[in-house]
Amino acid sequence: MLFSEQNFRRRGEFSGSIEVVCGSMFSGKTEELIRRLKRAQIAKLNVEIFKPRTDTRYHETAVVSHDLNSINSTPVDSASAILLLGTNTQVVGIDEAQFFDDELPDVCNKLALKGIRVIVAGLDMDFTGKPFGPMPALMAIAEHVTKVNAVCVCCGNPALYSYRTVADEATVLLGEKESYEPRCRACYNLDKG
């Protein structure tokens, strides 16, 4: 079921909150983030969108999904830079949250306490299956957590892991289908012995 915004309060009332959209690569995190943000723009809310400056895969500035849906964003070097947003911002979107520093949960909490609706998308697990960066702490303090699944490229079941197909042990390795495939639990563990 699609996440519904119907319970959010109207403008002028306190509405600060944190939403997290998490899952594996290709699970639709960015599409869901863009969907929520575009609806907020249609509602004429002041929306600001951020991504880590290091995420240059599709575009220097825009947030772009694998299906090439996109929305403008501001690349930032650190989580604290997000606090420098305009004074009348009502909704903040953040993509690729796993790449941010450990300040991100505190930054999101401060924004939510100012009445801002914060929507964060990111990988919950890295390629080894471990929690990724600030994502678990964000999920712990969020009002709403939506976990989305990709389709396992091996068997077609729901995929929750991002399997790395190239020999590189670095936690951060930007890439697409040339380096990663979404896999279900069984297929992810097949090659792990």
Ligand X SMILES: Nc1ncnc2c1ncn2[C@@H]1O[C@H](COP(=O)(O)OP(=O)(O)O)[C@@H](O)[C@H]1O
d(CA 118, CA 54): 21
d(CA 55, CA 121): 13
Residues 52-91 that bind ligand X (CB under 6 A): 65-67
Binding mask 106-145 for Zn ion (x = CB under 5 A): ----------------------------------------
Cα 54–Cα 58–Cα 63 angle in degrees, nearest 5: 75
Binding mask 122-141 for ligand LXEULUCI (x = CB under 6 A): -x--xx--------------
60 is catalytic: no
Note whether 28 binds ligand X by CB under 6 A: yes
Which residues neighbour 156 within 8 Å (Cβ) at sequence distance 6 or greater?
none
Query: How far apart, in Å, are the Cα atoms of 193 and each of 31, 88, 186, 188?
Result: 34, 53, 11, 10
Judge whether 108 is annotated as a binding position: no
Binding mask 83-122 for ligand LXEULUCI (x = CB under 6 A): ----------------------------------------
Note whether 27 binds ligand X by CB under 6 A: yes
φ, ψ dihedrals at 144, nearest 5°: -135, 130
- Pick the catalytic residue: 19, 32, 48, 96? 96
Instruction: Rank residues 22 and 187 by Cβ distance to Zn ion and give the closer one.
Output: 187
Count of residues that interact with ligand LXEULUCI, criterion CB under 6 A? 14
Question: What is the three-class DSSP state of 83?
Answer: helix
Mark 147-186 as b/e (b = at least 16 C-beta within 10 Å): ebbbebbbeeeebbbbbbeeeeeeeeeeeeeebbbbbbee
CB of 156 to ligand LXEULUCI, least distance (A): 19
The residues that are catalytic are 96
Could you list the residues that contact ligand X (CB under 6 A)? 23, 25-31, 65-67, 150-151, 153, 182
